[in-house]
Amino acid sequence: MTNTPIPFGKPQLDADAFDAVRAVLESGMLVHGTVTPAFEKAFAERIGVAEAVAVSSCTAGLHLTLFTRGIGPGDRVAVPAMTHVATAHSVELVGAEPVFIDVDPATGNMDPAALEALDGPLAAIMPVHYLGLPCDMDRIMAVAKSKEAFVLEDCALAVDATWGNRKAGTIGLAGSFSFYPVKHMTSIEGGMVTTNDPVLANDLRRRRAFGYNRALGERTKPGLYDVDILGMNYRMSEVEAAVGLAQIPHLDNFMADRSRNDAALRAIVGKIEGVTVFPDKVGPATSSHYCLNAVLPRDGSISRDRVVEGLKQRQIGSSVHYPGPVPLFTYYSQKYGYKSGQFPVAEWLADQTISLPVGPHLSESDAQRVGNAFQEAYNEAS
């Protein structure tokens, strides 16, 4: 069966998820129940962090955290030029200015030297663990300290990624994870903010639900509340939490499959002359293996469209992370006047990277098939 389609990503949902969703639907308790707190507890234990606050998406978590910390007009926040647009949008949404830093050509992560060289104040730094490889958190935390900024990790692709003996999402003030269907684990839509700061966690919980304060004044009777701060509705539903909670016992297998598939694919694609494959281990950083990115030569001599087409002909799905340096997306280039040529590494990746699947929906021989298909498609495009 060599022609079975292999999609880039596919959520892994077993009978336990269906049963958990049915139980929630039958209970009638669709929000404000006990499943969301149980999911928060299980996720915090998995990551090794004091608090986890469930939200409606990673983007919501990033925005909520910046908002809760009072980031706003006049503040500057360092963001890598190569990331999902959500990272920068969360800064724009609070009225602050994203300051884009080009990425390291060896890892795709925010270049720590460029961050260190940045002039002027910073209110926050948002490292993005690109495709699951943790950023150099020692250097980023040192810059944060010197600028009196806090660090908010974008952990959308970093479930179980490690920096020494700590996991991504436990090193900065907070981290925000994504449970979008094709990430490491899913809750349909959903996200989780992790932090070791109990005061921040409490503030996040209040502001994700309108800023309700049930303890204030006379309004402490059941169902009554006062509101003393501004908040959003960024809650996670009980159905989503049930799906997310059911994924946790499978995570060990998911991660082992990703690691095995990455190794099998890397053994083939990593040998192709002219293709750059980023390492999955750098110093204390170990990747969570979101995908294997194969980056074509900078000179554009190989057409990415043709390689992607060749993969498609062989029934192999792929993706691009990410299709633009964020500062060159129209919204940002029009607002801030960024021009092509200012972020050469991010531009190279945006134009030439291809993300290949390594998820738990692949067997080891599937991963080899993806590698061989890539080799053939690359040869045809050469």
Ligand X SMILES: *Cc1c(COP(=O)(O)O)cnc(C)c1O
Smallest separation, CB 181 to ligand X (Å):
9
Give yes or no for residue 180 binding ligand X (CB under 6 A). yes
- Cβ closest to ligand X, residue 35 vs residue 58: 58
> Per CB under 6 A, does 287 bind ligand X?
no
Return the residue of 58, 114, 137, 292 that touches ligand X, per CB under 6 A: 58
3-state secondary structure 228-253: CCCCCECCCCHHHHHHHHHHHHHHHH
> Which runs of E-coded beta strand occur in the chain?
51-55, 76-80, 97-101, 124-125, 150-154, 162-163, 166-167, 174-178, 191-195, 212-213, 226-227, 276-277, 281-282, 285-286, 292-295, 353-356
With binding defined as CB under 6 A, does residue 76 bind ligand X? no
Considering only residues 119 to 138 of the shown chain, the ones binding ligand X according to CB under 6 A are: 128
State in angstroms the smallest separation of the CB of 371 from ligand X.
24
**Does residue 90 belong to the site contacting ligand X (CB under 6 A)?**
no
Q: Should residue 186 be labelled a site residue for ligand X when binding is judged by CB under 6 A?
A: no
CB of 153 to ligand X, least distance (A): 10
Number of residues that bind ligand X (CB under 6 A): 14
Candidates 26-34, 154-162, 324-332, 342-350: pick the segment binding ligand X (CB under 6 A).
Answer: 154-162
Does the footprint of ligand X cover residue 191 (CB under 6 A)?
A: yes
Q: Give the long-range contacts of residues 205-211, CB within 8 A, separation 24 or more.
A: 205/53, 206/231, 207/64, 207/67, 207/68, 207/231, 207/232, 207/234, 208/53, 208/55, 208/60, 208/64, 208/232, 208/233, 208/234, 208/235, 209/233, 209/234, 209/235
Q: Which stretch binds ligand X (CB under 6 A): 52-60, 274-282, 335-343, 359-367?
A: 52-60
Residue whose CB is less far from ligand X, 185 or 265: 185
Q: Encoding tokens for residue 92?
A: 């724009």
Which span (33-41, 82-90, 250-258, 342-350) binds ligand X, by CB under 6 A? 82-90
- Closest to ligand X by CB, 93 vs 381, is 93
Among 36, 65, 87, 318, binds ligand X (CB under 6 A): 87
Residue recorded with tokens 């360092």: 78
Both tokens of 196, joined, read 């070791």
Which letter does DSSP use for residue 72 in this model? -
Check residue 361 and report its DSSP letter.
T
| Secondary structure (3-state) at 23 | helix
Which residues are at the interface with ligand X (CB under 6 A)?
57-59, 83-84, 86-87, 128, 154, 156-157, 178, 180, 191
